Structure 1
């Protein structure tokens, strides 16, 4: 027997949201206590920006079976999109506690902590996200940012470099590398990085400002 939830997920992945909603509705009509259908419907609602309804569906899934890590993960993402970082963090922590071992959940937990100004607490979660998926450019970039904010510049540089290795069109990674090199008094390298950022994104205000400051430094010395 073909699993209807799988068909609904397939429709979602194809962007056929109405068809997916119809399938999940059918499942819930047949079995109003299918927690997986509630989770999938929650993910669908979140994808179309109906965050409040999405959370209600995730909560319903948790009410039926509070051991489903993916329900907490879905709720966490939705709260994060609403900028409710405390509730998002609580849900991601619960997902991890229930055994969800995916790079995404560790990355999102780290992002919550960073948004809450708890950069030091975020570090091990960024680290774990990268261990689980070393090819995630955004995880490397955000980890680098977090390290840089804590003035751990030498540790941050390899992660900005890795971001560029994975995506050489990442202006913010070049910009932050420029800042790191300026911090280390390596002005020529800093200038090169600011210029790289501006080549990709000519209106990158911060990179333009960084470049101007380094050029002024050269004029004075």
Structure 2
């Protein structure tokens, strides 16, 4: 039994998450349905960006051991990603009611305020978590995310570096540093830190995606295409990876291949205006103005905030159509 538990935990620490889930599910039923095992299963699904399955595991763990606070920080992060404000508020209240002097409780409350865009209040709770448990690397990373959301990059980077000092394999902090360098257009530094994150967790679709974006911005187009393809191979439902891959293919003037990616993306994200806008541009390049107009109009309906840019593209398309008609005449 101990060997089975250790094997599952070893696989999880190596970020072989699907293998870890399989190993834990091979445990006897009475051992699988324990708070610790379900927390590990939830973490494995979380690392694979399978938030629904992760949430199910954490909720089951919470039912079995309602006072287990360790793991609630990830549980709350999943609710943050899923934008589940009411369940997150309920979880925060439960955590604080049970132990307001727990670093994990403070992380849950911090995530709750972060989802409500109250970054300064969230930071107070994450900093409180650090005071209560100075060796909790994830609290530093959450603080870094909040500073980054406030565009306070210097403090964000200090938090990420503190997290790495505590745990060199805390890839989230390496990603955080890479993301800041990307936003600062320091693409070589961004690439370096994102590759460090991938060395730790080589099965992460988001990490491959962000590395691909950094490489594309650094004009390393072929490498970018490879990284984005890896991201999609790991998670075929990763919308950002498909969108960025389409952008790279457009840069390479491979419009038919870009069209395939964008059509697939429409099925995954049917209400994303930016996808239809790029589709319109691709159809225009392929000499299909009617399809271009259909997609640009759809983009205008879905993204009124980008109306000026989309209307300019529609006007440009109409002018070209009129010019073509005059030439034919």
Q: Residue 115 of structure 1 aligns with which residue?
A: 217
Distance in 2 of aligned mates of 1:96 and 1:21: 27
2:106–2:129 Cα contact (<8 Å) kept: no
CA distance in 2, matches of 1:83, 1:5: 34
Change (3 A) 1:193 1:14: same
Residues paired across the two proteins, number: 221
- SS at structure 2 position matched to 1:21: helix
Q: Deviations over 1:148-176 (max 9, x none)?
A: 11011111001122233333444443333
Alignment RMSD (CA, Å): 2.6
Give the match for residue 163 of structure 2: 61
The question of 1:150 aligning with 2:248 is answered no
Choose from 136, 143, 146 the match for 2:238.
136
Alpha-carbon shift at residue 147 of structure 1 (Å): 0.5
Deviations 1:108-161 (A, max 9, x none): 111111111222211122122223333333322221111011011111001122
Whose relative contact order is higher, 1 or 2, with alpha carbons under 8 Å and at least 6 apart? 1
The alignment's TM-score, normalised by the length of structure 2, stands at 0.59
Contact 1:111–1:122 at 8 Å: present in 2 too? yes
Q: What is the deviation of 1:31?
A: 4.4
Q: 3-state DSSP class of the match of 1:2?
A: coil
Report the secondary structure of 2:113's partner residue. coil
Q: Structure 1 length as normaliser, TM-score?
A: 0.83
Greater Rg over alpha carbons, structure: 2
Whether the aligned pair in 1 keeps the contact of 2:110 and 2:122 (CA below 8 Å) is yes
The alpha-carbon distance between structure 1 residues 51 and 8, as it changes in their structure 2 partners (threshold 3 A), is farther
For 1:210, the equivalent position in structure 2 comes to 317
Contact 1:148 1:156 (8 Å CA) reproduced: yes
Deviates more, 1:207-216 or 1:21-30: 21-30
1:142–1:193 distance in 2 versus 1, CA, 3 Å: same
Shift of residue 199, structure 1, vs aligned partner: 4.9
Q: Deviations over 1:60-84 (max 9, x none)?
A: 2222332221110121222223333
State the distance in 1 between where 2:103 and 2:229 align.
Answer: 33
- Residues 96-115 of structure 1: matches in 2 within 5 Å? 96-115=198-217
Counterpart residue number, 1:81: 183
- 8 Å CA contact retained: 2:103, 2:132: no
CA–CA separation in structure 2 for the residues paired with 1:27 and 1:192: 51
Most deviating of 10-19 and 43-52: 10-19
Do residues 21 (structure 1) and 128 (structure 2) align? Answer: no
